[in-house]
Amino acid sequence: MQEQFAKIPLFAKLSADELERIADLATRKSLGKNSVVVREGDNTDSLYIVLSGKIKIYLNDKQGREVVLGVAGEGESFGEMVLDGGPRSASVMTLENCEFAILRRDDLEAFLRSHPDAALAIIRQLIGRIRHLTENVRSLALLDVYGRFRKLLMDLAVEVDGDMKIQEPLTQQEIANRIGASREMISRILRELNIGGYISIDRKRITLLRDLPTGW
């Protein structure tokens, strides 16, 4: 696990001996795709580090409606808020087969006291998440459904062999959950953009064929 920890931003400035010590403190856990890692309201006390795979962080209600707060992958962590001793503020589910390193709060606190660089890395990570959530709130408040849809695709698109692709496979429901919309509305938008020659969809992966219209 020491070699994996060396690639994690949180531990980037640790010496080999320090990496060995922190790796010895961590336990490993593997979970299959679509497994719930933690639930909102749980009183667990550990930081999770994603060693492999991808997870989603989300909220849901008693009616089963879901809002995705973010997606994280290899090298990223979640659960930093256990440092305040409170319950989990969101649920986490695996999107792929995942392996985690888990640090208990007492061990994490002792580690951070003696390694301020790691504490600063956690602060920066939390700031990044706050910025992301602020943008989500801005989108929900100021953009219509299509505007939120367009922003999501533009944020996710990366250039691959000259094409702009969303490499993550996304179902209509997953898109709806991320932008606070209905699956039926997303289905209509995707169908019309496909007919209009703006996008193509292959096995749930979207390719942007030309600039998306600013309005719909």
Tens of pLDDT, residue by residue over 118-129, are 788 878 878 887
Are 69 and 131 in the same domain?
yes
Residues 6+ away with beta carbon under 8 Å from 29:
99, 100, 102
189: in domain: yes
Q: What is the pTM of this model?
A: 0.71
CATH number of the domain within which 78 lies: 2.60.120.10
Are 7 and 42 in the same domain?
yes
Predicted local confidence at residue 142, as pLDDT: 67
Strand 205-208 and strand 199-202: the pairing is: antiparallel
The total number of structural domains that make up the chain:
2
Query: What is the per-residue pLDDT across 3-43, written as a single tens digit (0 to 9) for each?
Result: 788 778 778 777 888 888 888 889 999 999 999 999 999 98
Domain boundary, last residue among 90, 109, 141:
141
213: in domain: no
Are 107 and 181 in the same domain?
no
Residues 6+ away with beta carbon under 8 Å from 120:
none
Predicted local confidence at residue 148, as pLDDT: 92
Range of the domain at 165: 145-208
Of the candidates 192, 25, 195, 57, the one whose C-alpha atom is nearest the C-alpha of residue 136 is 57
Tens-level pLDDT at each residue, the chain (216 residues) = 777 887 787 787 778 888 888 888 899 999 999 999 999 999 888 999 999 999 999 998 877 788 888 889 998 888 888 788 888 889 999 999 999 999 999 998 888 888 888 788 878 878 887 888 788 777 777 689 999 999 999 999 999 988 899 988 899 999 998 888 899 999 999 999 999 999 999 988 999 999 999 887
Predicted local confidence at residue 124, as pLDDT: 83
Domain boundary, last residue among 141, 159, 181:
141
- Stated as kind and residue range, the H or E segment containing 8 is none
CA distance 80 to 47: 6
